[in-house]
Amino acid sequence: MNLIEVTEKFPDELTATKFFEKARWKDKPTCAYCGSDNVSPRKSDYRFTCFNCNKSFSVTVNTMLHRTRIPLRTWLIAFSLVTDAKKGISAKQLERNLDVSYKTAWRMGMKMRTLMRETNGKLDDVVEMDETYVGGKPRRGGLSTLTKEEKAYYDKTVQRLDKRFDISEGKQKKKWIPAHLVKRGRGTRKVPVVGIVERDGNVIAKVMEKLSHDNLKAMVQKHVEEEDAVLITDKYKGYNRLEKIIDHIKVDHEKMYSYRGINTNTIESFWAIIKRGIMGQYHKITLRYLPDYITEFVFKYNNRNDDDMFKTLVLNSMQPQRARA
């Protein structure tokens, strides 16, 4: 549901409240504490009173939106904005669009990512597995454009900076890290994220702080139907010996990227969405919250062919409270 539809369908707080009530209770409200349906009509403050336990409650009590002070109409607008943004929407953008504080917008964003957690069945048929690394990367030096005199000048400058910051003894400061010391690819200090995608199906991705054969194998066993699937990966050594548990094909990217459909292009396309979202919208994500942002991208990818993401968030928000995973 896009923003225009939301504002037209829910012009005030009452219509938004009724929408959440229907999502939670369907036709008849029941007490959020004792479950009795012997409750009063909705009051002006959008609350009910239970005649059985004599407690007052609203539609959000004991749900994922428990104790929210944000109007429910504002939540619906936020659901629309977030589900409409394929590559995500920053807290600063939510702050401007919802007319709330940055702190409130950030918390709303994190709450919505909690609502996006889902339990999918196992993947089968042709599945691709790969890993990516989240974080900034150094720009390539444009040495081909430098004259000999310019290159000599910069080489001399680098040597001066190396000596000043004593990098030979491992005491370099963050403001000066020579390019030849910045590792790329699997040697980087960036955070690895591992993903498995089914061709024309769903994706599963998780932050994996330690890339090892045992961790990769456990992920395959947990999320893939080993007997019914064919796994395609690159030639990273961590994928070695997976043929013992699943039909496994390895693509040597030093020689080719695709041969008659044998490739890892689908999972790499998913990584492209994540990196464009992080670089273009969020800019920087800490390790603590990275799994939540990965959850958002997975949720949107898995629901890319459906128009029910907005409704799914509403239904999930009315589920009982659950602890942070």
Instruction: Look up the pTM and report it.
Output: 0.84
Nearest by Cα to 30 from 3, 53, 10, 14: 53
Backbone angles phi, psi at 279, to 5 degrees: -70, -35
Strand 224-234, strand 123-134: pairing: parallel
Q: What is the pLDDT of residues 148-191, one digit of tens each?
A: 888 888 788 878 877 776 655 555 555 555 655 555 556 556 78
Decide: 67 and 80 in contact? Cβ < 8 Å: no
The pLDDT value recorded for residue 325 is: 44
Nearest by Cα to 82 from 323, 309, 315: 309
- pLDDT beneath 50: ranges in the chain: 324-325
Burial class (CB in 10 A: 0-12, 13-18, 19+), 22: middle
Q: What is the pLDDT of residues 41-63, one digit of tens each?
A: 999 999 999 999 999 999 999 99
Distance of CA 159 to the CA centre of its chain: 42
Q: What is the pLDDT of residues 228-249, one digit of tens each?
A: 999 999 999 999 999 999 999 9
Q: How far apart are CA 22 and CA 218, in angstroms?
A: 41
Output the DSSP codes for 124-145: EEEEEEEEEEES--PPPP-GGG
Computed over its alpha carbons, how large is the radius of gyration of the chain?
25
The pLDDT value recorded for residue 150 is: 80
Q: How far apart are CA 250 and CA 264, in angstroms?
A: 10
Tokens of 165: 């910051």
Q: How far apart are CA 128 and CA 233, in angstroms?
A: 6
Decide: 265 and 296 in contact? Cβ < 8 Å: no
Residue 61 exposure: Cα atoms within 13 Å on the Cβ side: 18
The pLDDT value recorded for residue 120 is: 83
Domains (range + CATH), the chain: 3-115+306-317 (no CATH), 123-135+190-284 (3.30.420.10), 147-183 (no CATH)
The pLDDT value recorded for residue 190 is: 78
71: left (phi over 0), alpha (psi -120 to 50) or beta: beta
